[in-house]
Structure 1
Amino acid sequence: MLAPNPGPSAAPSTDSVPALPGVLASEVESVPVHWLWRGRLALGKMTILDGDPGLGKSTLYAAIAACVTLGREWPDGGHCEHPGAVVVVTGEDDPADTIRPRLEASGADLTQVRVLDVVQDLRGPRTAVFPRDTELVARVCSEMGATLLVVDPFSAHLEGSVDSHNDASVRSALAPLQETARRHGFAVLLVRHLNKSGGSKAIYRGMGSIGVIGAARIGLVVAEDPTDPAPQGERRVVLATHKNNVMKWAPSLAFRIVDSPEHGAGVVQWEGPTGLRADDLFEPAMRSSSPVQDDAESFLQAALSTGPRPSREVEAEAEEVGVSKTALRRARQSLGVDHRREGFGADGVYYWFLPEQGDGTSSHTPKLAMPDPSLEGGNLDEHGDESP
């Protein structure tokens, strides 16, 4: 038996149709990224800082805190446009004998740094953990007027239910912190130790799940300079970028940790830019200084001592005196040699120059800014030309 014909179906009521999720791009108001430290720390976004224990990560964040709390110039010459307070979530370092001396040695305004080493709950004092204490930490940042939140080390402040080696688990734990930072407008610096993999790709060297660096918009790493001939443990340290989803990579900066006897703590002593990239810091081939490399660096310093010179001209001279292309490339990285391009197309000429010289151009000199492969890992050859 046939079922009765229900007749024509009624048009659905517009009241019962849910609105389409999402938003049209045309309805989104564009806003610029607000940088705390251009290329490294952005308001409302997370940065990860990777590095082995003992290389000065905590001393480095103390130096950063000094710039933020005082509105001091950054070591690369940039201006701190959003000075404010700093909140440090930590459970490993003692505030009295370690954290305060570091901050004092760095010159930070101690009245603008709040150390959140314990929080209270019904069971008593405990370490702050994420995501459970996200809103509490956000309230502290808001009331302090903080523009920077530091979590050191990040792995010690994950809630027990979070699997630090599981991508989805880590991203779920970080999502509330990421949204809170965006809503309140402070930068987040997550400090993390390196794993023991021994790989040469810096982006994979951080401990735990790849979800951590996946969630962070910017990735930084500190490691010893493999070209420094000093014994291990006495070499200078390099701060380099291994990820940036917001802008081009910031140049690497070299520094040393020196003693401040007055404060009983170490302090960062900046040594300026270096051409070493993040991956170079973990490349075994870069780790041996040799007479050949020393000769290449001496040649390049002499060749560029009078100012910017065409790259092909310098390479030709290097070949004449027996400096290989490989040694010359490493010398460029070690010395931080930069380059510029004048002209376009087949008529374009690349010039090399030492970092302390500037590019030697005036505002009337036509030039084309090109990414430096030694700083950004681009697919360019020794001249700066695109490789086939």
Structure 2
Amino acid sequence: MTEPVTLIPGERQERRAPVRLRGLDELAFTADELGLEEPPARAWHVPQLVPAGTVTLLQGDGGTGKSLLALQLAAATTLGKPWLGQEVRRGNALYLSAEDDRDEIHRRLSAVTLEHGVALDSLTGLKVVDLCGEDAVLADAERSGRLQPTPRWHEFAELARAWQPSLITIDNLADVFAGEENSRPQARQFIGQLQGLAREICATVVLIGHPSLAGIASGSGSSGSTAWNNSVRSRLYLTKPAGSEEAPADPDARVLTVKKANYGPSSIEVRLRWAGGVFRADGPGTRAVGAVDRQIAEARAEHTFLALLDAFTQEGRWVGPNTGHTYAPALFARDPRANGVGKPALASAMGRLFASGSIIVQPYGPPSKDKRRIARAPAGEGK
């Protein structure tokens, strides 16, 4: 579970000065300095879905409900309530809306707060900037092709510095980015612009965008230059499940898929259902669909198996795939470095790693002994 931040919704912290341009002598360090302290824990705004302190791109075709989903996240952040059954990092939220006006936001937040069982006046930490019908451009391109922040951007950044949000949501990419969508340099510059603000005020940024026709057709949800996907640390795609002649599509069903995850497992799917003006996780219990937890657990077990395999190999301790005194899952489960991952989970992880070609069985010792051990597959041989 992610620890909530201490900021109380609506509370303003002391304003920080804009970040100055630092020289390379300040930015460079030697790697041995890292050995003086433990690596910092990975911070999540929503575990395995939205990493904290960076930019996540939330995409979906028109009418899927991505703006509502993002608004639910903003409200959950302010209230310290779960989002789709997942814990959320608490704090202030700043929501820039260039698509929906004040009245539409009002209607949606009424449904969201009703779902949480609180009054609208509980959202003291959620500030909404209504730019529907206004100049919302945050970055424009010069004749040289270089992207430049606009006066509106500087105004928005100042507001963010004063409000100190844990979460910034920008709806929609097409309204705030006046550059060339297919330009790799401009796409990277704009994501860098957002990332710079995120790092400065320790905020998470969710940027909402539409996929291209090609992205919809392929199911990737991508749009424009591949730099949009490559520049963000996380990309989510909201879709309506397709139906068939035997089973027509459910108009209220949605699927939220992790299309890119630099810091966690990708291809996680959360099945949703629209009801009562909000989206709810469509599964048993109060948590998001069990597939999320299952894939997270499987990824952890595989990582643990490989890490212990590397450690045992370095120590000259050979492990095998068959039950017995060298059975890898049993030996690994008893090792303190397994961090609680048990024998059944490690056995399943071993099977998946063999299937993917990540590990292989090698003979070792005298041929007459017919001894076999598990080893990492040589680079390039995995599936």
TM-score range, shorter chain: 0.5 to 0.7
How much has 1:33 moved relative to structure 2? 2.5
Whole-Å separation in 1 of the counterparts to 2:215 and 2:205: 27
Is the Cα–Cα contact under 8 Å of residues 134 and 176 in structure 1 kept in the other structure? no
Structure 1 pair 105–199 and aligned structure 2 pair: CA distance change class (3 A)? closer
Letter in 1 for 2:228: V
Letter in 1 for 2:343: P
Measured against aligned partners, the alpha-carbon deviations of 1:234-262 in whole angstroms (never above 9, x if no partner) come to: 1511111011112233732111112x3xx
Is the Cα–Cα contact under 8 Å of residues 65 and 103 in structure 1 kept in the other structure? no
Measured against aligned partners, the alpha-carbon deviations of 1:7-61 in whole angstroms (never above 9, x if no partner) come to: xxxxxxxxxxx96973212335642232111112222101011111111111111
Is the Cα–Cα contact under 8 Å of residues 241 and 253 in structure 2 kept in the other structure? yes
- Aligned pair partner of 1:147 in 149, 166, 171: 166
Q: How does 1:346-357 map to 2 (within 5 A)?
A: 346-347=322-323
| Matching of residue 79 in structure 1 with residue 87 in structure 2 | yes
How much has 1:65 moved relative to structure 2? 1.8
Whole-Å separation in 2 of the counterparts to 1:240 and 1:371: 24
How much has 1:195 moved relative to structure 2? 1.1
SS of 1:54's partner is coil
How much has 1:213 moved relative to structure 2? 1.5
Compare CA radii of gyration and give the structure with the larger one.
1
| Matching of residue 345 in structure 1 with residue 321 in structure 2 | yes
- Aligned pair partner of 1:209 in 225, 230, 234: 225
Whole-Å separation in 1 of the counterparts to 2:181 and 2:31: 35
Instruction: Give the structure 1 partner of residue 253 of structure 2.
Output: 236
Letter in 2 for 1:217: R
Q: How many residues align?
A: 282
Whole-Å separation in 2 of the counterparts to 1:220 and 1:380: 29
Q: How does 1:87-102 map to 2 (within 5 A)?
A: 87-96=94-103, 98-102=104-108
How much has 1:379 moved relative to structure 2? 7.3
| Matching of residue 116 in structure 1 with residue 123 in structure 2 | no
How much has 1:188 moved relative to structure 2? 0.6
| Matching of residue 178 in structure 1 with residue 195 in structure 2 | yes
Instruction: Give the structure 2 partner of residue 129 of structure 1.
Output: 138
Measured against aligned partners, the alpha-carbon deviations of 1:175-207 in whole angstroms (never above 9, x if no partner) come to: 12111101211101111112111666544x322
Structure 1 pair 148–380 and aligned structure 2 pair: CA distance change class (3 A)? farther
How much has 1:365 moved relative to structure 2? 5.5
| Matching of residue 248 in structure 1 with residue 265 in structure 2 | yes
Structure 1 pair 143–21 and aligned structure 2 pair: CA distance change class (3 A)? closer
Whole-Å separation in 2 of the counterparts to 1:180 and 1:197: 31
| Matching of residue 23 in structure 1 with residue 34 in structure 2 | no
How much has 1:172 moved relative to structure 2? 1.3
SS of 1:59's partner is helix
Structure 1 pair 344–36 and aligned structure 2 pair: CA distance change class (3 A)? farther
Instruction: Give the structure 1 partner of residue 41 of structure 2.
Output: 32
Whole-Å separation in 1 of the counterparts to 2:206 and 2:111: 21
Instruction: Give the structure 2 partner of residue 269 of structure 1.
Output: 280
Instruction: Give the structure 1 partner of residue 56 of structure 2.
Output: 47
TM-score (norm 1): 0.61
Is the Cα–Cα contact under 8 Å of residues 43 and 181 in structure 1 kept in the other structure? no
Is the Cα–Cα contact under 8 Å of residues 49 and 189 in structure 1 kept in the other structure? yes
Is the Cα–Cα contact under 8 Å of residues 104 and 110 in structure 1 kept in the other structure? no
Instruction: Give the structure 1 partner of residue 109 of structure 2.
Output: 103
Whole-Å separation in 1 of the counterparts to 2:128 and 2:348: 40
Whole-Å separation in 1 of the counterparts to 2:26 and 2:80: 45
Whole-Å separation in 2 of the counterparts to 1:365 and 1:33: 23
Measured against aligned partners, the alpha-carbon deviations of 1:269-304 in whole angstroms (never above 9, x if no partner) come to: 221355889xxxxxxxxxxxxxxxxxxxxxxxxxxx
| Long gaps (5+) in structure 1 | 1-17, 261-265, 278-331, 351-362, 373-377
Whole-Å separation in 2 of the counterparts to 1:184 and 1:113: 16
Structure 1 pair 224–136 and aligned structure 2 pair: CA distance change class (3 A)? same
Structure 1 pair 20–103 and aligned structure 2 pair: CA distance change class (3 A)? closer
Is the Cα–Cα contact under 8 Å of residues 251 and 275 in structure 1 kept in the other structure? no
Whole-Å separation in 1 of the counterparts to 2:248 and 2:264: 35
Structure 1 pair 370–152 and aligned structure 2 pair: CA distance change class (3 A)? farther
SS of 1:126's partner is coil
SS of 2:206's partner is strand
Instruction: Give the structure 2 partner of residue 194 of structure 1.
Output: 211
| Matching of residue 224 in structure 1 with residue 237 in structure 2 | no
Whole-Å separation in 2 of the counterparts to 1:36 and 1:201: 29
| Long gaps (5+) in structure 2 | 1-23, 114-119, 140-148, 306-318, 330-339, 361-381
Identity across the alignment (%): 23
Structure 1 pair 198–114 and aligned structure 2 pair: CA distance change class (3 A)? closer
Whole-Å separation in 2 of the counterparts to 1:95 and 1:369: 52
Is the Cα–Cα contact under 8 Å of residues 43 and 52 in structure 2 kept in the other structure? yes
Structure 1 pair 250–68 and aligned structure 2 pair: CA distance change class (3 A)? farther
Whole-Å separation in 2 of the counterparts to 1:61 and 1:138: 20
Structure 1 pair 171–183 and aligned structure 2 pair: CA distance change class (3 A)? same
Is the Cα–Cα contact under 8 Å of residues 40 and 47 in structure 1 kept in the other structure? no
SS of 1:146's partner is coil
Q: How does 1:320-331 map to 2 (within 5 A)?
A: none
Structure 1 pair 157–26 and aligned structure 2 pair: CA distance change class (3 A)? same
Q: How does 1:8-19 map to 2 (within 5 A)?
A: none
Structure 1 pair 91–198 and aligned structure 2 pair: CA distance change class (3 A)? closer
Whole-Å separation in 2 of the counterparts to 1:126 and 1:168: 24
